[in-house]
Structure 1
Amino acid sequence: MTKSFTSLLLSLALVLAHFGASAQGVMAFEKDAHDFGNVPEGTMATHEFKFKNTGNQPVVIANVQASCGCTTPDWTKTPIMPGKTGMVKAVYSSAGRPGIFNKTVTVTSNAATPSVVLSIKGNVLTKDEVKKTLTPAQIAASPRLTLDRGVHDFGKMEAGQQPVARFTVKNTGKSDLLLGALSSPCYCVGYKTVPQPIKPGESAQIELVYSQRKLGPVTDEVTITSNDLSGDAKLTLKANVVRDLNAASMVKESGSVVPFK
């Protein structure tokens, strides 16, 4: 093999290596930090970090990890082609967390920079603290949450099932109603889908998933947080939880009296 041919192969290898290294997606975020400022307690502070793929290959986000359970991330699940945009959403639950917060979400992808840290911060104000910053006219124009009923009875349910209770929420106030997190002593209630803002005078249906596993008659109080300055809404879920619905049905049938013919 001649020296010139060896040099040619070496040059070709260097070119290919350079091309392979440069053939990557690039996540160019508009910003990597967001300050919510003052956040009314009970609301879900939400921000979308938008980015553009300025590289020459598709970007695929593998995972987004929040620094705490109080922050729920979401992101663009499909590949982001070169020149297109995507987003990473951070949702901070302020319910029961008054005071200053500073949280991060870490984005992992196949981009040129495989790990990117985004940050959110703010100051959660209690409802009383929010009222002090508003005029009487602003308080009168605040949202107001009204439930169609305060109790839902699932009847007999099997442990491990996740039945859904549907409630109608109406905003009888004069500004957008923002529903926040659910809380209950059993930690067994959650939203099926994240509620959207409700306009003044409008109603919306919310679906609550019940995951109670304690056997026997149960009653659980649920608190719905929101930006309603008059206070949080309360409702009650009831059920008779059995180990196996089919087994209970068979026991009932076996215990019935069958007359002789």
Structure 2
Amino acid sequence: MKKEILMILSTVLFMTTLSCTQKAVEKVKPENVAIAAKHDTKATKLPIMSFSETTYNFGTINEGDVVEHEFLFKNTGEAPLVIISAKGSCGCTVPKWSTEPIQPGESGSLLVRFNSSGKPNMQTKQITITTNTEKGKEILKVKANVTPKSSIGS
């Protein structure tokens, strides 16, 4: 008896599911499928942030020096490039960038200022750029061999 009830319930559940699926398929309009496909194609067109260099070495500098380097890039993608934010790995590394979108084929720059006060010896700092590229993040690095104040003029 239990097997028969279970079998009937299973059949009713299967039929209900099948009929709902068929009704859902009937509601899909071909023009909406075409619009969705077109939208998906546009979504795959993303900006690409292509840098001429991703690491810059300031060489040997004296502790307390403030040095800058401008990283150049080009949007080699198919959509406008937007830099959402850029952050240095510590407060001694400060990036500046344009908030305007960079159109496909156009170039831009990101200025990085490194303050070597209190940063003796070999230093490597990272700048993390949050963008609307496929990766979502781009990484730049600056390096410097900072001569400690106690060694300057010795």
TM-score by length of 2: 0.70
Residue equivalent to 1:158: none
Which structure carries more helix by proportion? 2
Which residue is 1:78 aligned to? 100
- Structural RMSD (CA): 2.5
* 8 Å Cα contact 1:26-1:113 kept in structure 2: no
The letter of the residue matching 2:146 is V
1:102 aligns with 2:124: yes
Higher strand share: 1
Q: Which runs of 5+ in 1 are unaligned?
A: 1-5, 133-261
Alignment of 1:16-165 (within 5 A): 16=38, 18-126=40-148, 129=151, 131=153
CA pair 12-65 structure 1, distance change in 2 beyond 3 A: same
CA distance in 1, matches of 2:106, 2:100: 11
Give TM-score, length-normalised by structure 1: 0.43
Where does structure 2 lack aligned partners over 5 or more consecutive residues? 1-27
For 1:49, the aligned partner's letter is F
Give the drift of 1:96: 2.8
Q: CA offsets, 1:11-67, max 9 Å, x none?
A: 846852552233221111112111112112221121111110111211111111111
Distance 1:128 1:67 in 2: 26
> Secondary structure of 1:20's partner?
helix
Cα distance, 1:107 vs. partner?
A: 0.3
* 1:22 partner letter: T
Answer whether contact 1:59 1:79 (CA < 8 A) is retained: yes
Q: Is the 8 A contact 1:52 1:86 kept in 2?
A: yes
Aligned residues of 1:33 and 1:118 also touching (Cα < 8 A): yes
Please say if residues 30 and 51 of structure 1, whose CA atoms lie closer than 8 Å, have aligned partners that are also in contact: yes
Identity %: 33
Matched residue SS, 1:16 = helix
Pick the structure with greater CA Rg: 2
Count of paired positions:
126
Secondary structure, in 3 states, of the residue corresponding to 1:46? Answer: strand
Instruction: Flag the structure with more relative contact order, 1 or 2, with Cα contacts below 8 A and sequence separation at least 6.
Output: 2
The CA deviation string for residues 187-241 of structure 1, in whole angstroms up to 9 with x for no partner, is xxxxxxxxxxxxxxxxxxxxxxxxxxxxxxxxxxxxxxxxxxxxxxxxxxxxxxx
Contact 1:49 1:89 in 2 (8 A): yes
